[in-house]
């Protein structure tokens, strides 16, 4: 069996003082594959330093290899091109996208260093799997280093429409570099279609049978392969003691009110101000139901070196303060807004306590919170998922109440409908979604991608 080499910006291999239960789905799936075949997971350590040699560690049968980046590298590659150029552009936010030549230079430089460092550790039969927008040109740079192995690439975020992508200086160079891969994977058919549109309209590419795309003399496979969660483990966790305790704690503090929950990294793509506005509209439109609900929004800060992330944080603090000031009573605050991370088992319990899961990104590659919410529900009395039609997950979870997150009215109406939904309908919708989350879990995703890569 060939080894698997995983390369991503950050490594999520197990560490000395972490149990498997602390990990998210992606880490669980990839670590399982890595452990089967003695693979290696490469990436940035998350630290800054001038020495970028690789440091190896092995725990739980998985080897990780990480390197530090210089401050300049972090500024230009990570905070710059990845998170101030590609992230906003690929989430359709042209107005937030910053184009700096230094960012583009730093991005390619860091990818080149990764390629050079990793190259000596790739053996003849290894399968190489590169992840996400931080590393788009890595396969091409590995080819320049003489790597002839099968290399796949998976994009976790949306692929933007051609009309937006062409705003990126050197867009063609970036997409051309993707033809160094053997397989490129996207979360949904929609993102795949956008990629194919670019390739056919901007590069004279030709689509063939069997998901092939040809440009010039080079043919690759481009597939839609939606990522899932570690459903079986998550269901078990939601039924376990830690989750039960978290669920009870919520239910006790709710004193009979219905919990509406949102869980998101603090990121403008997640539509949090719009969500608060939709919830506020509900409070306005349905005054008699005001004191029957509360919104718990959990949003751990991320990427705080980037100004647009500091702005969204300030905006949300201001909004939640204003809404609470306007509507709170002596024994009720409409929004509990919490900026910290929780263990996965605690999250599972909170999801289970929630009558409504409110997942309303303005644009999202997939959105795993929606799937976790479904997996955590009680089959006998499940809550209702309200899901943005602009999340990749909406293609699979079409039995959710799908909303336009930009419309406060739409969100408000969906909250009302969810609160009134009869149990039989809740169970029917939940069952359909649960079947999908079970069948297309993260192990299914990994197998499907690697099957295509090895085919
Ligand atoms: P993200 O944008 O990070 O991922 P998402 O898919 O929702 O978004 O995953 C977030 C994960 O973080 C979930 O597993 C969630 O439970 C966890 N999380 C969020 N808040 C937390 C908190 N306070 N405490 C603990 N855990 C928390 C990117 C893309 C997505 C895509 C994934 C996977 O943007 O579209 O679904 O990758 O491909």
Q: What pLDDT was estimated at residue 250?
A: 96
Give the residue whose CA is nearest to atom 24 of ligand 1: 341
Q: What pLDDT was estimated at residue 81?
A: 98
Closest C-alpha to 131, from 29, 264, 18? 29
Q: What pLDDT was estimated at residue 37?
A: 82
Q: Active-site residue numbers?
A: 156, 364
Tell how far CA 38 is from the center of its chain: 26
Give the residue whose CA is nearest to atom 16 of ligand 1: 369
Our mutation pick for probing the ligand 1 site, out of 29, 340, 367, counting the most ligand atoms within 8 A of Cβ, is: 367
- Tens of pLDDT, residue by residue over 175-211, are 999 999 999 999 999 999 999 999 999 999 999 999 9
How close is the Cα of 369 to the center of ligand 1, in Å?
Answer: 6
Q: How many whole angstroms separate alpha carbon 407 and alpha carbon 90?
A: 22
Residues of the chain with CATH 3.40.50.2000: 4-228+442-454, 231-439
Backbone angles phi, psi at 188, to 5 degrees: -140, 165
pTM over 0.75: yes
Fold that domain 231-439 belongs to in CATH: Rossmann fold (3.40.50)
Does the pLDDT value for residue 18 go beyond 70?
no
Confidence of residue 36 (pLDDT cuts 50, 70, 90): confident
Binding-site residues, ligand 1, Cβ < 6 A: 24, 26, 156-157, 227, 263, 265, 298, 300, 341-342, 347, 364-369, 372
Does the pLDDT value for residue 369 go beyond 90?
yes
Q: For the domain 4-228+442-454, what is the CATH superfamily, name and number?
A: Glycogen Phosphorylase B; (3.40.50.2000)
Q: What pLDDT was estimated at residue 65?
A: 96
Q: How many whole angstroms separate alpha carbon 169 and alpha carbon 171?
A: 5
- Tens of pLDDT, residue by residue over 46-77, are 999 999 899 999 988 899 999 999 999 999 99
Q: What pLDDT was estimated at residue 22?
A: 58
How many of the other CB atoms lie within 10 Å of CB of 252?
A: 9
Q: What pLDDT was estimated at residue 20?
A: 47
Our mutation pick for probing the ligand 1 site, out of 24, 265, 341, 437, counting the most ligand atoms within 8 A of Cβ, is: 265
Helix axis angle, 231-238 to 344-353, nearest 10°: 70
Give the residue whose CA is nearest to atom 3 of ligand 1: 265
Does the pLDDT value for residue 142 go beyond 70?
yes
- Tens of pLDDT, residue by residue over 202-235, are 999 999 999 999 999 999 999 999 999 999 999 9
How many of the other CB atoms lie within 10 Å of CB of 200?
A: 15
Q: What pLDDT was estimated at residue 16?
A: 73
């Amino acid at each position: 069996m060939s080894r698997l080499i995983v390369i991503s910006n950050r490594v999520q291999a197990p560490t000395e003082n972490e149990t498997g239960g602390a990990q998210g789905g992606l880490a669980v799936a990839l670590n399982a594959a890595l452990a089967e075949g003695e693979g290696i997971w490469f990436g940035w350590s998350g630290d800054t330093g001038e020495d970028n040699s690789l440091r190896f560690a092995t725990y739980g049968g998985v080897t990780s290899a990480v390197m530090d980046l210089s401050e300049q590298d972090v500024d230009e590659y990570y905070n710059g091109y990845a998170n101030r150029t590609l992230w906003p552009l690929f989430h359709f936010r042209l107005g937030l996208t910053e184009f700096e030549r230094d960012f583009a230079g730093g991005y390619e430089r860091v990818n080149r260093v990764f390629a050079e460092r990793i190259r000596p550790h790739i053996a003849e039969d290894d399968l190489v799997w590169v992840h996400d927008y931080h590393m788009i040109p890595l396969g091409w740079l590995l080819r320049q280093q003489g790597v002839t192995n099968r290399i796949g690439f998976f994009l976790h975020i949306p692929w933007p429409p051609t009309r937006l992508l062409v705003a990126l200086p050197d867009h063609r160079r970036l997409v051309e570099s993707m033809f160094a891969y053997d397989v490129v994977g996207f979360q949904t058919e929609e993102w795949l279609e956008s990629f194919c549109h670019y390739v056919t309209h901007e590069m004279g590419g030709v689509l063939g049978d069997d998901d092939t795309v040809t440009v010039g003399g080079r043919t690759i496979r481009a597939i839609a392969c939606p990522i899932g969660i570690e459903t079986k483990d998550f269901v078990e966790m939601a039924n376990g003691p830690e989750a039960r305790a978290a669920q009870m704690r919520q239910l006790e503090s709710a004193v009979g009110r219905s919990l509406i929950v949102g869980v998101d990294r603090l990121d403008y793509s997640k539509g949090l101000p719009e969500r608060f506005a939709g919830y506020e509209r509900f409070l306005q439109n349905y005054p008699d139901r005001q004191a029957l609900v509360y919104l718990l929004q959990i949003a751990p800060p991320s990427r705080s070196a980037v100004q647009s992330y500091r702005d969204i944080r300030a905006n949300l603090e201001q909004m939640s303060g204003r809404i609470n000031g306007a509507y709170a009573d002596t024994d009720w605050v409409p929004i509990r807004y919490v900026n910290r991370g929780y263990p996965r088992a605690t999250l599972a319990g909170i999801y289970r306590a929630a009558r409504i899961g409110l997942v309303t990104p303005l644009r999202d590659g997939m959105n795993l919170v929606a799937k976790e919410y479904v997996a955590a529900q009680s089959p006998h009395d499940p809550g209702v998922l309200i899901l943005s039609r602009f999340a990749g997950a909406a293609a699979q979870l079409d039995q959710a109440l799908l909303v336009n997150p930009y419309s406060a009215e739409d969100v408000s109406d969906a909250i009302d409908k969810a609160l009134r939904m009869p149990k039989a309908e809740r169970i029917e919708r939940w069952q359909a979604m649960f079947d999908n989350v079970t069948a297309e879990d993260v192990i299914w995703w990994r197998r499907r991608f690697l099957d295509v890569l090895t085919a």
